[in-house]
Chains A and B, each alone.
Chain A
C-alpha cells in the first residue's frame, strides 16, 4: 500500500479508519484496483516514476462530512486533494498534484440546491455536472439557459474554479466571473461562506458576489486554500432568438482592423456570442488536404493574398453571433455589417434569425451544441480514432493568453509555429485564437499524449521550452497540467517572484500544516518548499 509522503503507516491506517467512520467503508478507496480510475487518464507521465498517483480516495456525501474529513487530515497531517467531477482531462484529471495525496472525491455531493428562474441563478454542490443542471432546467421547464464548456460531464464548480470557459453570452462564458457566492471548507475543517453568504439568513447570496469587505473568492480560484462545497452560478434567461453571421476580409493585415471592430462590438455588448476567427492560411497543427493551387501556411503573404483574391476566399473570417429578442438580434447584425464595412473589401454572409429554443433541424450538423447551452461530449472526437488519424491517449495543452489585437494574433502564431516546428512538438491541434473571455484571446496548442515514455519525455522537454519562450515574449499560460505547474508559475516572476511569495505567505497562514492540494499551480506548503530547495 502506498502511503502519503512523510506520513507513517500507523497514522495513515488510523486516518483511513477515521475516514471510514465518517463516510462509510464503501466510500474509502485504498486498493490498487479502486484507485486505478483516479490516475490522470491523459497523464504525460504515464507509468513513469513521477506519475502523480493517489494513495487513497475518500468520497463524502455532505459538507459536514467534508469538514470531518479535513479535521482528521489536518490532525494527522495527511495531504488531501479535492476534485469535483475529476474530469479535468488535459489538465490533471482526477489525480493529485502531489503523489501520495488522498483524493477527496466530491462527486457524490451532487445536489442542485436551488434554481431561481426570476433571478436566474442556481446553487449547486461540486458533483453537479452540466448535464445534471441542464436536465434539471429542462425537466422543470424553466426559461433558463446554462453556459457550458465542451465536455458536458464536467462539474459546474470544478470548471469555474479552474477558470474554465464556455460559448454563449459574453456575460456568462467566463465561468469564474459568472459564479456568485461560495461555501468553503478550510484545511482545519472550518467552514465559511463568501459574499453576502456571511450574513446568516442572507437573501441575496447568489445576487451580490462582493458582499462586504475584501473580495476573497479569488483566493479559491486555481488555488490550494479551501474545498468549495457550494457555489452559486448565474444562468441566462433563455433568449428569444439567435443569429450568426460571417464577416470576411481579403488581406492578411485586415485582421488588425477586424479584431478592433469585434472588440468594439463586444465591449459595447452589441455582439454577445463568442467571436470565432478562422483563416485557411493559419498554421494549424494539422493538414487538411489543401485545395489544388492553394499555398501552404508557410508561403509568402503575396502568394497567399493572390490565391485568396483569385478564388474569392476571404483571408480571414470571423463568425459573430447574437442572443436576444429577434428584432434586436437583427438590428445588431445590421449594425455589425455597417461597422465592418469600413474595412475595404469586407464581405458578409448569414445572419438569419433563428427562433429559440432550437428545433432539431437547427441543431442538425452542429458538432457542438455548446453555443445553444446544450452539454455534450462530441468534442472527444479530437484524439479519437478516425478515418485519418490513429487514436491518442489524450492530450496536454499549452494555453497562452495573447492580446486581443490582430497584431497579437500574427505575432503569436508566428512564434508558436516557428517554435513548435523547431522543437518537433507533437502538435495535433493549434486552435484559432479563441475569444471566450472578453479582453484577451487564448490559443490552445494541443499535443498528443502517448503511453511511450520516450515520446512523452520529448514532449515534456519541448513543452517546458515552449513555456519559457512564450513567457519571454510576454505570453503567460492560464492553466496547465500538473507536470508543468511549477514551470508556468516560475514565469510569473515580476519582482523576484513577489506573486508566488505572496501565495506562499497566504498558504502558510490559511493551511499551516500544508495539507490541502499541495503543489497545485506551483504553490507548495512550507515543509515541502524547504525540501525542494
Chain B
C-alpha cells in the first residue's frame, strides 16, 4: 500500500459521559497509537467526565433511552439497574483486557496520545484545570482544536 493512503493522524471528539459514549473514542485513540498513528482526544460536554478526577471512576452505562440495551426504559429507571448493567459490561471488557477508564487514559497518555478539554464545556460546568486528571495536556478553544487537528482526520463520537 502506498504511504499516502495511510492515515497518519486522528483527532477524536468524545462528547458523551456514559460508558458506551466514552469507550469507543478511547479504543479508537489507543488503537491509533498501536498502529503508529498520531492521536488527539478532545473531551467536550459530558465527555469531560472521563477526565474529571472525581467522576472518571464512576462512569455508567445508560439504561434509559438506550433501545440497544434490550430492556424497557421503565425497568431501566429502577434503582441499581445502571450499576448492574455497568458491572456486567465492565466484567465483559475485563475479559477482553479492555482497561477501566482511568487506566485506559493513562495508557493512551503513556502511548503518546494527547488529551484535551473543551474550553466552552469547562466554563459551562465551572471546572478548573485542577479538576482534571494529570494526563490532560490543556484546555482548548474550538479554534485551537482545529489547528491541532490540521492534516489529520476528525472523528466525532
Decide whether A and B assemble into one complex. Answer: no
Binding site for A on B (CB under 8 A): none
